Amino acid sequence: MGTEAKMCYTYGMLTSHHTRTALKYMTTVLGGLSLALVAYGFSFGPTYVDPAAMEGRLLPKHTTGQTKWITITAEEVASGTTIPADSNVIVHIPDDVKRITRRVLFGRSGDTIRYWGYCLPENYAEAKANTTRGFPGDLFLSEAEREYRRKKLANEQRRTFSVFKNITQDDLDQTQRKPASMVRHQLEIFEGGTSCYVMTEKAIPVGVDRDDDGLNSALERRHGSDDLIADTDGDGISDSLEVFRLFSFPTKRDSDGDGIIDGIEDSNRNGRFDVGETEVMVWDTDRDGLCDGLCKINKGKDLRGEDKNLNGVYEPDLNEYNPRTADSDGDGIQDDHEVYLCVVGGGDDC
């Protein structure tokens, strides 16, 4: 067993003897296989790699033994953790995970961060025996990595296929498989009990999704939300929509502090600001100087706002103003000035 593979196994040592035994073989195989994949990829073309770019393969320093091997245990994945950048990382997915998408597993970081990796089948020996050519594994690339390779491919003349260079459009298409490939491509669904090798240019969150809200356990911990409740604050919007679309707070029912619950502002609860709605993260949607709901002003002495009963409905009969337009009654006087005139006139429901 090579030095790097031994390091990989050492990092993977767990407290449970049964678990150590179960993981020993897979960790060793992945450690050695990753080096074989790198060697295979380097055999197609120049071995020089620009240190400023990952280029979908290990950087030169990785072949010198200077980069550490890290094993992330199933327990760590279950609770949520971080995959560090520029490291050889082995990730063990908990056995009780039925299925999880690549995007959720890695915290939807692939849109902006380049990472790649591959997973081996649970019964590696059996799969290897049934594989006539190449490795019995599945390769995965982040969206950013695929886009980088597409651009790189467009600027290159060579079209000889390899794992790391000159991948064609069919290779990048997750619905296609290239029989001649050394590693099958593209893995999008991960199952429990799988062990995978990962390399990333920047740190990325990795975790499970117990509540099926699309937010993995690492991100739930980061945002303080409950990984067993899909809508932690009970505002009607799932935690993942709040984090990834609305950029609101999954632990606050009223993220912008305007008095209206997030799920009422985003009335169709699709995580977008649509016509007829008020903005979840803006306390004055129509920018007329009045709070969408009811907010304290004058150092907390008064309450002013537009949707006074906080139900998301414009009701002029209740002397409300429309938080979606700066001039609710269309008389040419902006709502905040109407309130000012009301206060000056001695009104009691301004």
**Between residues 291 and 158, the one the model is more confident about:** 291
- pLDDT of 206 higher than 60: yes
Q: Compare 256 and 14 and report the one with higher pLDDT.
A: 256
Cα–Cα distance measured from residue 308 to residue 347, given in angstroms and rounded to the nearest whole number: 15
Q: Model-level pTM?
A: 0.74
Q: Which residues of 283-302 are buried (b: 16+ CB within 10 A; e: fewer)?
A: bbbbebebbbbbbeeeeeee
User: What percent of the chain is modeled with pLDDT above 90?
Assistant: 57
Of 23-32, 144-153, 182-191, the least confident: 23-32
Task: Report pLDDT for 20.
Answer: 43
Average pLDDT, rounded, for the chain:
79
Q: Which of 167-176, 193-202, 222-231 has the lowest mean pLDDT?
A: 167-176
Name the token pair of 237: 């919007």
pLDDT band at 7 (very low <50, low <70, confident <90, very high): very low
What pLDDT is recorded for position 271? 96
pLDDT in tens, 59-72: 334 444 567 899 99
Amino acid at 166: N
Q: What is the pLDDT of residues 126-161, one digit of tens each?
A: 766 676 666 677 889 999 998 998 888 777 655 555
Which residue has better confidence, 209 or 160? 209
